[in-house]
């Protein structure tokens, strides 16, 4: 696997989990000390520690200014004649029916081999990944960025942002207000830190562990990285739901049981990642599904069974997003987000 080369370095903070003890005052009957025992530090496997350190030393992408790496369709269109490469991740039949001029069609599992042996990635100014709605391309971009491909971007909204025919067939059908009457407004506490998954590669260095984990994720494919609002709302208690929004958005209404994790202080922070249960499917969601797809890639790299909620809040509280668009800075998808850029057929 190609060496990881990242843009920028940022330190990862390791925050100790300590409980402050307090001693009870004496009474007629002398009491035993009421100071609670110190909380045990989360158990982090040595391989996990090496993986965290390797990502940190190679740029700490998920906590850098480049995360998430999204690009607008308008910029892609304006730069079609420049030194960029568009990779379309959609199935071959969809690609043949219409795609961006000059794009190449590659499936998710074969992306690493294509970048290693098929092209010279760093000869391009930008490598732009495109899919149906931007969810898969965001997930793939996150993996490639962590692998060191610092010129890779995901096109926001996918082909739905390029041309309205794709928006009407994809994003517009994914918008729903079906569960607005089941939003929860009370906060849910972050679980106690217990530990993180064990990579179990048997390898000795961080770079070897990283390469093995990246390779495994691509080999597994991306068939189960997405989950729908219908699946989650059928029984929210089956999942550990992570909300990656600002506090005011979370407080305005979230999936029942969802716990808010700060986007800027979760990924790469062992004390926070150790609070994410490993015995449940983790569902990550944000406003549109783009940022959560980036976060899902990071969590899956570490062994969490994580899924990103397709279309994010747009898929279950769309009318509320439209109503509160200005007050809460929501980003509800509309056809205004799409364009009428041309497509070519194979």
- In this structure, are 282 and 255 located in the same domain? yes
Going from the C-alpha of 192 to that of each of 262, 275, 292, the distances in angstroms are 16, 5, 22
Number of domains into which the chain is organized: 2
pLDDT at position 121 is 97
- In this structure, are 304 and 204 located in the same domain? yes
Chain-centroid distance, C-alpha 166: 23
Q: Identify the domain boundary among 174, 193, 213.
A: 174
pLDDT at position 25 is 35
The CATH number of the domain holding residue 123 is: 3.40.250.10
- In this structure, are 300 and 315 located in the same domain? yes
Q: How far apart are CA 121 and CA 110, in angstroms?
A: 15
246: which residues sit within 8 A by CB, 6+ positions away? none
Q: Domain limits at 119?
A: 63-174
Residue 103 lies in a domain: yes
Residue 142 lies in a domain: yes
Q: How far apart are CA 123 and CA 193, in angstroms?
A: 44
- In this structure, are 202 and 163 located in the same domain? no
Q: How far apart are CA 296 and CA 182, in angstroms?
A: 25
- In this structure, are 242 and 296 located in the same domain? yes
**Quick one: tokens of 339?**
């364009």
- Report the predicted TM-score, pTM, of the whole model to 2 decimal places: 0.88
DSSP 105-156: E--GGGHHHIIIII--GGGSSEEEEE-SSSHHHHHHHHHHHHHT-TTEEEET
- In this structure, are 125 and 149 located in the same domain? yes
- In this structure, are 211 and 316 located in the same domain? yes
- In this structure, are 302 and 224 located in the same domain? yes
Q: Identify the domain boundary among 174, 204, 231.
A: 174
- In this structure, are 144 and 280 located in the same domain? no
Q: How far apart are CA 62 and CA 69, in angstroms?
A: 10
Per-residue confidence of the chain (346 residues) as pLDDT tens digits? 544 443 333 333 332 332 333 333 333 333 343 434 456 677 799 999 999 999 999 999 999 999 999 999 999 999 999 999 999 999 999 999 999 999 999 999 999 999 999 999 999 999 999 999 999 999 999 999 999 999 999 999 999 999 999 999 999 999 999 999 999 999 999 999 999 999 999 999 999 999 999 999 999 999 999 999 999 999 999 999 999 999 999 999 999 999 999 999 999 999 999 999 999 999 999 999 999 999 999 999 999 999 999 999 999 999 999 999 999 999 999 999 999 999 999 7
pLDDT at position 41 is 72
Closest CA to 337 of 163, 117, 118: 163
- In this structure, are 306 and 229 located in the same domain? yes
Residue 8 lies in a domain: no
């Amino acid at each position: 696997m190609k060496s990881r080369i990242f843009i920028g370095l940022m330190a990862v903070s390791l925050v100790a989990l300590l409980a402050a003890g307090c001693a009870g005052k004496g009474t007629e009957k002398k009491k035993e000390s009421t100071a609670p025992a110190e909380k045990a530090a989360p158990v982090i496997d040595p391989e996990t520690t090496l993986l965290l350190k390797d990502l940190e030393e190679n740029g700490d992408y998920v906590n850098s200014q480049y995360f998430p790496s999204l690009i607008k369709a308008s910029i892609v269109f304006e730069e079609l004649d420049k030194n960029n490469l568009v990779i379309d991740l959609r199935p071959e039949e969809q690609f043949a029916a219409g795609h961006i001029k000059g794009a190449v069609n590659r499936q998710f599992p074969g992306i690493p081999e294509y970048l290693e042996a098929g092209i010279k990635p760093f000869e391009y100014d930008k490598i732009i990944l495109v899919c149906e709605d931007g969810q898969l391309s965001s997930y793939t971009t996150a993996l490639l960025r962590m692998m060191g491909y610092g010129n890779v971007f995901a096109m926001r909204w996918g082909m739905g942002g390029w041309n309205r025919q794709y928006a009407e067939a994809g994003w517009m059908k994914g918008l729903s207000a079906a569960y607005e009457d089941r939003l929860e407004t009370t906060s849910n506490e972050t679980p106690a830190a217990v530990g993180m998954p064990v990579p179990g590669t048997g390898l000795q260095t961080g770079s070897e562990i990283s390469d093995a984990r990246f390779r495994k994720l691509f080999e597994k494919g991306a068939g189960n990285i997405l989950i729908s609002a219908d699946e989650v709302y059928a029984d929210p208690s089956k999942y550990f739901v992570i909300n990656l929004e600002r506090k005011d958005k979370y407080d305005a209404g979230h999936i029942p049981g969802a716990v808010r994790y700060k986007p800027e202080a979760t990924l790469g922070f062992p004390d926070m990642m150790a609070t994410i249960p490993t015995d449940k499917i983790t569902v990550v969601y944000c406003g549109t599904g783009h940022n959560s797809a980036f976060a899902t890639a990071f969590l899956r790299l570490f062994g969490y069974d994580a899924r990103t909620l397709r279309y994010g809040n747009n898929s279950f509280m769309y009318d509320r997003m439209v109503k509160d668009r200005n007050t809460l800075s929501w980003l509800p998808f509309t056809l205004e987000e799409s364009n009428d850029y041309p497509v070519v057929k194979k």
